[in-house]
Chain A
């Protein structure tokens, strides 16, 4: 069993059994992270390049560690230090990196679809580490992994995603993954931040946060990009946090054992009130480990086998 594509561009393009394969493989990888010597020789001689056109600490570090734990050589390129500032196009940069013997390119880019362009340009594997508002598949897989770990399953769970769904690649990857694995998903936030055609995406959309949280097994609160307010999508941070922020009273509507998640970094007191924010922090270390395990699984599944038959 292997992944059908040599690229990981989005969860919309993955089948449920492929997603489960990644989660199962991540389970095995997690043991390695728990060791004193966190290293296996699997990807010796392979080169992983992270190409980040947007700032990121946790995703980039997570991929880098995943590569290093599996003995791959890792190189990180950030826009400010590369030829990009000299006006080189994405395709030219990608071809140059490929010439240098790259086996997998992990890219983050502010424009949706850029990883598809990259995948068409190079012959090595491409992993989307977040493209514009499109997808962030490794984050989606990490969230699925965490949910499965805490709840023992995904099918049949009620999952509420709260916040700026419209502009969120994390929300998109989450809702594809969750619905494929049989969860019931409801998205909520101000109507200006909800996607058009939510029903067609297979999820329920409501602007009443209380309605969305009621009976939820999992509540995933997205980071609010504060600059959206300047774009006129909602009147003020104050009104947002009062009307749509997740606080103790609203969270009480969910199941007593609700799993509260946040992809980070958090705007404390905006999308999450301080008192519930602390409970999220308690699981953040776990999330970091899970993130590395999921990315190790992706690297193994993309690079660990021979050529596809």
Chain B
């Protein structure tokens, strides 16, 4: 099955600006970085979370705590997928209790990944609040979930896929693409 690139909806510069804006919004909404914990969801949420932390550090002069969440064991589609996902480690270096957690992911779609992430996070303790930051919101929610911080809203059809390419992961220039299966 081949995929066809339909459109490039964000380039490196757009991504940089969006993350910068989100960093400002996070600081503003939480009145600084006290008790802030930025948690990237594997896999592309992790480099995005790192970049957000970098930007927040530039603005505030101090780095917020950061963690990595693997949601494989919380997925609701494990028994229906033919390909078994590899489990990776969850690495949250601080106690989540009482923290203001910002979950970071690349694309918000059905909301099922975020549901799994919320469950995974709750199993680690009781945060004060949880917010959600995504680079792209493409719609088609299947659960009552919305993002607090959005880089770009992109209307899509269900046949399309939204793909984020990041230098750290893919070795290419940063970009967000809409692709379609042939």
Contacts and interface: CB of A to CB of B under 8 A. Distances in A.
Nearest to B84: A305
A62 B120 CA distance: 23
Contacts of B81: 305-306
A258 B82 CA distance: 43
B74 A41 contact: yes
Interface string B33-61: 00000000000000000000000000000
Most chain B CB atoms below 10 A, which of A21, A37, A297, A305: A305
Contacts of B86: 1, 21, 24-25
Contacts of A35: 123-124
Contact of B82 (A21, A300, A304, A306): A306
A71 to B, nearest CB: 9
A31 interface: yes
Contact of B83 (A29, A32, A39, A309): A309
B87 interface: yes
B74 A40 contact: yes
A200 interface: no
B123 A305 contact: no
B80 A306 contact: yes
Given A36-B125, A37-B123, A39-B123, A305 B79 contact: yes
Nearest to A45: B79
B111 to A, nearest CB: 17
Nearest to A36: B125
Given A41-B74, A42-B78, A304 B123 contact: no
Contacts of B80: 306
Nearest to B88: A28
A231 B91 CA distance: 53
Interface in B125-158: 125
A50 B38 CA distance: 41
B106 interface: no
Contacts of A24: 86
Given A1-B84, A36-B125, A305-B79, A300 B73 contact: yes
B70 interface: yes
Q: How large is the interface on A (under 10, 10 to 19, 20 to 34, 35 or more residues)?
A: 20 to 34
Contacts of B120: 40
B89 A28 contact: yes
A297 to B, nearest CB: 8
B124 A300 contact: no
Interface in B71-125: 73-74, 78-91, 119-120, 123-125
Contact of B87 (A25, A36, A41, A308): A25
B87 to A, nearest CB: 4
A97 B78 CA distance: 24
Contacts of A301: 84
B79 A31 contact: no
A307 interface: yes
A153 interface: no
Interface string A272-309: 00000000000000000000000001001100111111
A70 interface: yes
Contacts of B83: 2, 305, 309
A210 interface: no
Most chain A CB atoms below 10 A, which of B73, B85, B91, B120: B73
Nearest to A304: B78
29 contacts: A1-B84, A1-B86, A21-B86, A24-B86, A25-B87, A28-B70, A28-B87, A28-B88, A29-B87, A31-B89, A32-B73, A36-B125, A37-B123, A39-B123, A40-B120, A41-B73, A41-B119, A42-B74, A42-B78, A297-B87, A304-B73, A304-B78, A304-B84, A304-B87, A305-B78, A305-B83, A306-B78, A306-B79, A309-B83
Given A2-B84, A42-B74, 6 more contacts: A25-B87, A28-B88, A37-B125, A42-B78, A300-B87, A301-B84
